[in-house]
Structure 1
Amino acid sequence: MKKMIVLVVSVLFIVVFVFNNKLFFPPLPIENVSKKEAIEKLNDSNEAIVKLSRENGYEWYITYSDQSIADDNIKEMLSQNSWMFKQKDGSGLFFEKQGEHLIATTQMWTGDYVLVKIPVTLND
């Protein structure tokens, strides 16, 4: 009986640990942010799109998964930096500003979240 209680408590502890740390989510393509931190940043923010990290010449953002909402969030954020939306092709959103081009790419991370990768030129 004692072994059964220890086993049940151990399994319960593992389940809580996995769920709490979002270990069941797919890996992030960025290194500086954990899955749990990424979700908490978005959920704790009043913004619809939140910056996660700056790595290898790109800025990474997270937003909610409804694709049309995600696209609108990206368009709004970039328009605040004077980038004009031109077209969408697959997972890429194409923008232009003063003859320069910028491509923001999206990727579905989970059923609830979309990751956005934008070249660092965003703020230039």
Structure 2
Amino acid sequence: MKTNKILVFSGAAILLAFIICYWVYSNKFYYPTLPFERITKKEAVWKLENGNHELVELEKVNGYYWLGFKGNQQEGRDKINKKMEDQGLNYDSFDGNGIFFEKEDRVIITGTMWTRNYVLYKVPAEVMAAN
């Protein structure tokens, strides 16, 4: 009888641990915090995974668009350069996290590795609206 209680308790504890691990994994709680709050990590990962290695608009917050890219920093920088050239900006240089463009004024776009697989870019909204 005592053995049955131990087995039932152990089984329930293992099942509970499995459920908690699955919940944490499926909601991406182990990912770093996003620099914006309107979408969840799970939604951001879904958009990035389904972006077909293109820039994906994640959010617009406080006068900036947050774009994401699934891939490495070099590939992401190439995509940003192409997108900004399409917006009429001329690539100038990059230094660290900043990518510099020129039009009438200097435009700085910052890129940050969010995880090993995803890069996030902070783009001024007036640049994106200049389409």
TM-score range, shorter chain: over 0.9
Spell out, residue by residue over 1:48-81, the C-alpha distance to the aligned partner (whole angstroms, 9 max, x if none): 1101000011100111241110110111111111
Bigger shift: residues 28-37 or 43-52 = 43-52
RMSD over aligned CA atoms reads: 1.1
The reply on whether 1:36 has 2:33 as its aligned counterpart is no
Q: Does the aligned pair in 1 maintain the 2:51–2:70 contact within 8 Å?
A: no
Structure showing greater radius of gyration is 2
Q: Does the aligned pair in 2 maintain the 1:88–1:94 contact within 8 Å?
A: yes
Task: Give the length in aligned residue pairs.
Answer: 123
The reply on whether 1:91 has 2:97 as its aligned counterpart is yes
The reply on whether 1:112 has 2:117 as its aligned counterpart is yes
The one-letter code matched in structure 1 to 2:50 is D
Say which structure is richer in strand. Answer: 1
1:48-87 matches, cutoff 5 A = 48-87=54-93
Q: Give the structure-2-normalised TM-score.
A: 0.89
The reply on whether 1:121 has 2:131 as its aligned counterpart is no
Q: Does the aligned pair in 2 maintain the 1:60–1:116 contact within 8 Å?
A: yes
CA distance in 2, matches of 1:88, 1:16: 40
Q: Does the aligned pair in 1 maintain the 2:57–2:66 contact within 8 Å?
A: yes
**Which runs of 5 or more residues in structure 2 are unaligned?**
1-6
The one-letter code matched in structure 2 to 1:88 is F
Cα displacement (A) at 1:101: 1.8
Cα displacement (A) at 1:13: 0.2
Cα displacement (A) at 1:47: 5.3
Spell out, residue by residue over 1:70-107, the C-alpha distance to the aligned partner (whole angstroms, 9 max, x if none): 1101111111111110010110000112x222111011
Spell out, residue by residue over 1:17-73, the C-alpha distance to the aligned partner (whole angstroms, 9 max, x if none): 011111100110101111111111121233511010000111001112411101101
**Which runs of 5 or more residues in structure 1 are unaligned?**
none
Q: Does the aligned pair in 2 maintain the 1:65–1:108 contact within 8 Å?
A: no
